[in-house]
Structure 1
Amino acid sequence: MHYIRLIQVLYQLKLFSPVGLYKLLSAIRKYGMNLMALLGYAGKVYGNRIAIADERETLNYSQLLSQAEHLAILILHRYGIQNGHKVGIMSRNHACLIKSIFATSRLGADVFLLNVEMSQDQFDHLLARHDFQLIVYDAEVESLIECSSYSEKKIASYHDHLPAINDLLTADTTDFPKLKRATMGKLVILTGGTTGHSKATEHQPSIVNYLNPFVALMTKLKLQKYRAVYIATPIYHGYGVAQCMLFMAMGAKIVICQKFDAAQACALIHEHHVEVVTVVPLMIHRMLKQDVSRLSSLACIVSGSAELDPKLVEEVRGKLGDIVYNLYGTSETGLNIIATPQDLRLAANTIGRKIHGVKLRIVDDHNHEAQPGQIGQFCILNKLSQLNGQAWIETGDLGYRDDQGLYYLCGRIDDRIVSAGINVYPLELEQILNRHPLIENSAVIGVPDDEFGQRLRAFVQLDYNSSITQEQLLEWLRPRIARYQMPREITFVSALPYTTVGKLNKKMLRKYSAIIEKQ
């Protein structure tokens, strides 16, 4: 059945036709096994369709292919980048980022997608582990590079007077020889957010290793039906770059902008008649509050990278219809679980069902297999984890499976506390708190407690102009939660901190909580 679905998907994308296969093989023969082969195929098949639309420019697939090829030639001859070299790309979502990814992949380099929000200490730590031969950067991080030990070659994405990609594209390449075929190095995604040292996750381009997630997205989300997508998440994260490459394979118009802003996002969706958005839950929440009338073209909201609040699922359903899909994956193992709107109707807090090819074990603290309903750590085995030289990957995520085959998250292992000998999961209290009609959002962490060892502290952000006391909120909670889930304190805040990915920044909340404890 899975292979029948695969054939159907490839047929719909014209890859199973003689002409489609010929164009794909021709692109691989010309460029080699690298990302440029994907763009080469898209350029031949989708030519005049719009590929990228950002704040500066709009390019069709033929133009994007031409510019990426042009850029690859110049990066080779001016900067000497070739197979085996490391290139760091530190850019936000814009056309030059995408051109740079394709161009450096074409040369066989290892491409590192770097978080523009990293600190000086994190960047210095990165340089100590990796010898980059070239860094492509946005002007906003120029000082980060200048204050570091980095002394190799660099080029800005856009700049008025320094060497930049936008100027390089105007240079003449007539006298340069054509590029030879190249096999791409690794595409490296850095994980770990902005508060600690990152971990590099390497991905080797291989159609076989990504077939199962690809088919799952096509069959469950029906993405091949849509022609315009807005990628709101940073492309330098695994979730963002994967979606970008996926939609290029389908010839979609990809709308991007450098930073997420709810008002701008609503305007872009309306202007480009966007049908699909790839977001984190916080972005959905802010767009709904901003201007839901400009979101009427949406037919598919793809949420990932952070926990999806059941209250938000119900809000989207009421305002836009059953169009939310919840994705679960990790940087090391890729996409593993998908919740469809039908799954979310059964249980608004589910992350869905495993996709084909994924093995998932839930193990307790003694490494025993958990029974349905029993909470344990997710351990995953799939083609991507095996490619990275590992078997079962311990994700650090806690959750359980019900009798219907649906999976649920209970938070990270680091978030779990033990209160009077009982395992307590902050996420469960967050989901209850968020049901309160006066609460905008909440975050729950564990704090030391002399009597119980640990207790919960809740940080609560109320809706605008709303008011409620701690005593009133505790009274509301009592019939809805177990005694061990009752927070020791509730701290009301004007806003909750988030990471650049849109996840609640609990490390910052723990630091704030420690200050409160000392007072």
Structure 2
Amino acid sequence: MHHPSRNASRLLTDSVSLYPERTAIVFGDDLITYGALDAAANRVANLLVSRGIRPGDKVALSCPNLPHFSSVYFGILKAGAAVVPLNVLLKAREVAYHLDDSDAKAYFAFEGTAELPIGRTAWEGFQATENCTEFFLIEGVGVPWAGDGTPQSYAAAVAGQPVTFRTVERDEDDTAVVLYTSGTTGHPKGAELRHRNVYDNARAGTDLFASDPKHSDTYLCVLPLFHAFGQTVIQNGAFTFGGTIVMQPRFEARSALRLMLTHDVTFFAGVPTMYWALLAALDETVDVAALAANLRVAVAGGSALPAEIHRQFEDRFGVTILEGYGLSETSPVASFSRFGQAPRVGSIGVPIPGVEMKLIRDDWSEVTGGPDEIGEIAIKGHNVMKGYYKRPEATAEAIREDWFRSGDLARKDGDGFYYIVDRSKDMIIRGGFNVYPREIEEVLMEHPAVSLVAVIGVPHDSHGEEIKAVVVKKAGNATTEAELAAWAKERLAAYKYPRVVEFVDALPMTSTGKILKRDLA
């Protein structure tokens, strides 16, 4: 059955036709209009076609939060190719793996800095592949090239290209984006998102956030655009509704607060550690009243948001953080708290329009017990990926009868609101009892000494696993590790409280702000 053409680049071009002079991106002192952004994307599309890129080909992109990311991203889509966004922290060997695995034919990479030489690493990875034949280096300002050889200059390559382009028609079930999963088990896998997956997930903002082009939002972009959350909720969401994106290449709390004030930011999205950092950065020099007066929407996702951060943010900003849930495989948004309604702290909300969710057991049978029975989240709807690229067996394991199994454990209350209990792989089994780290972390966050915490399981001779809390302590607090363990013992069942408490200066995090628990074991 043939489906109508719906190239996901329409998310940009529909707004271009309505608001060509409206500011699409703010980066430093640069204000880039929708018309200028579209022209830049057209140059990229023309360049790709001139180099032999055909509809359905894969084109990789390594770029932090810069305007180049958006122009290249939409240029690739306009040319009918599929975007393969890569984490800018990948090493050369990892870059080569992703280029080979995705069958990328061309690759755009930002030069980076002396501290993070993205371009040099990308070039080395590119040279280690056979089938990726085009490499374009997006030069930084005043950063001399330090790699071997001389890659093509992106600026020179696009300079002579026309600023108009007729978008290549694509079937709505064709692949638009290939997002690589984190690869905590085995090699990273590429989740193939269809054009309709990308398009419909961005358009969901109408229902989720009351987004409206007539009263467009100003979005602070601190989430990395190579990741599904920032790409969909910030970039694609903003362009869909004629909004303005204020880009911050790398999240830093005090700088983020300044940008929010300078540009009257109305929409902020971040992972829980970003909210924690924003709250910690507030002092007498920050005009919190002005921030709160502008902020309309605050969105959290990526991992569970502690109830204490929920409470503190609402106290300071007067805005309820809307917690949502999703994965790369679900484009990513699957569920969200309801905008304008009183929050259910700890809940990831209800399925978004057009999406169904249920709880299942290991054998795919549905959990039909009481409200507090725990099961694995399964998702069905317009957001579910086509499958894992070139991995039919992995796809068959993850998707059955259009239902995708997430690997996340949750419960559902009587009103249909879901509550994440934990990742199935993070669950600790101590002495035969299932222990969910999230529950323990929530309790420990209530202690006045605890600024941030991660709970993990460590090997134990008799219990199988023992519970360990790794804690970032608030400055100046004199609580000892033994005292915190004793405090937890009074509030948690005997099989739950952490026997081991370790104070650290910082927790290891991914580039997207998630705590790397596997590095704590």
In structure 2, the partner of 1:362 is 359
Describe how 1:300-319 pairs up with structure 2 within 5 A: 300-319=297-316
Between 48-57 and 239-248, the greater mean CA deviation after superposition: 48-57
In structure 1, the partner of 2:209 is 221
Task: Report SS of the residue matched to 2:249.
Answer: coil
| 2:123/2:135 contact within 8 Å kept | no
In structure 2, the partner of 1:165 is 154
- The two structures have a TM-score, normalised by structure 1, of 0.85
| 1:105/1:185 contact within 8 Å kept | no
Q: Kindly indicate whether residue 238 of structure 2 is the aligned counterpart of residue 247 of structure 1.
A: yes
| Aligned mate of 2:191, from 171, 181, 201 | 201
RMSD over aligned Cα atoms: 2.5
Aligned partners of 1:494, 1:84: CA distance in 2, in Å?
A: 47
- 1:71 shift after superposition: 2.8
- 1:278 shift after superposition: 1.6
- 1:212 shift after superposition: 7.1
Aligned partners of 2:65, 2:45: CA distance in 1, in Å?
A: 20
In structure 2, the partner of 1:420 is 431
- 1:106 shift after superposition: 1.2
Aligned partners of 1:112, 1:424: CA distance in 2, in Å?
A: 37
Aligned partners of 2:458, 2:412: CA distance in 1, in Å?
A: 28
Task: Report SS of the residue matched to 1:476.
Answer: helix
Give the structure with the higher percent helix. 1
Aligned partners of 1:180, 1:332: CA distance in 2, in Å?
A: 26
- 1:97 shift after superposition: 1.0
| Aligned mate of 1:350, from 327, 332, 347 | 347
In structure 2, the partner of 1:293 is 287
| Aligned mate of 1:134, from 106, 112, 121 | 106
Structure 1 unaligned residues grouped into runs of 5+: 1-28, 511-519
Q: Which amino acid aligns with 1:47?
A: P
Aligned partners of 2:258, 2:152: CA distance in 1, in Å?
A: 33
Aligned partners of 1:400, 1:180: CA distance in 2, in Å?
A: 44
- The structure-2 alpha-carbon separation of the partners of 1:429 and 1:239, relative to structure 1 and needing over 3 Å to count, comes to same
In structure 1, the partner of 2:129 is 150
Q: Which amino acid aligns with 1:147?
A: E
Aligned partners of 1:39, 1:97: CA distance in 2, in Å?
A: 13
In structure 2, the partner of 1:65 is 38
- The structure-2 alpha-carbon separation of the partners of 1:130 and 1:322, relative to structure 1 and needing over 3 Å to count, comes to closer
- 1:83 shift after superposition: 1.5
- The two structures have a TM-score, normalised by structure 2, of 0.85
Q: Kindly indicate whether residue 264 of structure 2 is the aligned counterpart of residue 273 of structure 1.
A: yes
In structure 2, the partner of 1:236 is 226
| 1:226/1:275 contact within 8 Å kept | no
* Residue-pair matches, total: 474
Identical counterparts, % of pairs:
27
In structure 2, the partner of 1:506 is 517
Task: Report SS of the residue matched to 2:25.
Answer: strand
Q: Kindly indicate whether residue 380 of structure 2 is the aligned counterpart of residue 381 of structure 1.
A: yes
Aligned partners of 2:423, 2:73: CA distance in 1, in Å?
A: 32
Structure 2 unaligned residues grouped into runs of 5+: 112-116, 146-150, 388-394
| 1:125/1:197 contact within 8 Å kept | no
| Aligned mate of 1:55, from 28, 46, 49 | 28
Q: Which amino acid aligns with 2:217?
A: R
Q: Kindly indicate whether residue 494 of structure 2 is the aligned counterpart of residue 483 of structure 1.
A: yes
Task: Report SS of the residue matched to 1:52.
Answer: strand
| 2:208/2:352 contact within 8 Å kept | no
- 1:186 shift after superposition: 2.5
- 1:223 shift after superposition: 2.4
Task: Report SS of the residue matched to 2:160.
Answer: coil
Deviations 1:187-245 (A, max 9, x none): 111111689632111111127x8547734x32342222442111211111111111211
Aligned partners of 2:201, 2:8: CA distance in 1, in Å?
A: 19
Q: Kindly indicate whether residue 251 of structure 2 is the aligned counterpart of residue 260 of structure 1.
A: yes
Q: Which amino acid aligns with 1:337?
A: S
